[in-house]
Chains A and B, each alone.
Chain A
Amino acid sequence: QKEVEQNSGPLSVPEGAIASLNCTYSDRGSQSFFWYRQYSGKSPELIMSIYSNGDKEDGRFTAQLNKASQYVSLLIRDSQPSDSATYLCAVNPGGGADGLTFGKGTHLIIQP
């Protein structure tokens, strides 16, 4: 069974600090990886996608992928209270499969 694992948290980070969110996946053949942000009662919002090993930066967000270790992470710099949400890691296994497998999410709290 293909799994995506995340620490459910809550992860509490002071405002202005760096928040680090981690995710591991079981399917070594996975091709593409996504981070979604979900506020309570709302649907997920795509914030980062990454397909190649290494780092990808977009504003205050940096996604990191290490396929050998089957590990993907998200860093949020200069954390703001509005970043408080649940962050979902999602993986597309490739091989013709279209759907995403989601982790259970990490609940992030940014403390003012």
Chain B
Amino acid sequence: GAVVSQHPSWVICKSGTSVKIECRSLDFQATTMFWYRQFPKQSLMLMATSNEGSKATYEQGVEKDKFLINHASLTLSTLTVTSAHPEDSSFYICSARRAGGPYNEQFFGPGTRLTVL
């Protein structure tokens, strides 16, 4: 159990376009999902926390108008990178916390590698 999927696994886009990434919990309900970003040889940085049916909470320094998060159901959260630029190229990883699960265990999706040309 505790499988999280992401789609797409990789995407290449032109500067100025928008990219949507989906995160799904496949075999459990996730009250909370998280979006992280990881640059090469660096650790994961939390971008935002997404609770089903409410607005996302963004970490300091993360532009909420640029990184739009929607958590419409207990199994799906989406991250849209709007007007992407080369500096947004990164590995985007979502995680989900299982409803009723103990102590904030988070299970990660396989990640989406975004390259902006």
Instruction: Report A's interface with B, CB cutoff 8 A.
Output: 31-32, 34, 36, 42-46, 49, 51, 88, 92, 98-105
A89 shortest CB reach to chain B, Å: 9
Mark interface residues in B93-104 (1 if CB within 8 Å of A CB, else 0): 100010000111
- Contacts A44-B44, A105-B43; is A100 near B107 (CB within 8 Å)? no
Are A43 and B43 neighbours in the complex by a CB distance under 8 Å?
A: no
Q: How many angstroms between the C-alpha atoms of A105 and B43 in the bound complex?
A: 7
Q: Of A43, A46, A98, A101, which contacts B93 at CB under 8 A? A: A43
Does B54 make an interface contact (CB < 8 A)?
Answer: no
Partner of A43, one of B32, B104, B105, B108: B108
Tell me which of A45, A51, A99 contacts B34 (CB under 8 A): A99
Q: Given A99-B34, A101-B46, 18 more contacts at CB 8 Å?
A: A31-B103, A36-B108, A42-B110, A43-B93, A43-B109, A43-B111, A45-B108, A46-B106, A49-B105, A51-B103, A92-B103, A92-B104, A98-B32, A98-B97, A100-B34, A100-B104, A102-B45, A103-B43
A102 contact set on B, CB distance < 8 A: 43-45
Using CB atoms and an 8 Å cutoff, list the residues of chain B in contact with chain A. 32, 34, 42-46, 49, 59, 93, 97, 102-111
- B104: contacting residue among A32, A42, A45, CB under 8 A: A32
Also in contact, A99 and B49, with CB within 8 A (given A42-B111, A44-B44): yes
Output the residue of A36, A51, A98, A100 with the most chain B CB within 10 A: A98
Contacts of B103 in A (CB 8 A): 31-32, 49, 51, 92
CB distance from A99 to the nearest CB of B (A): 4
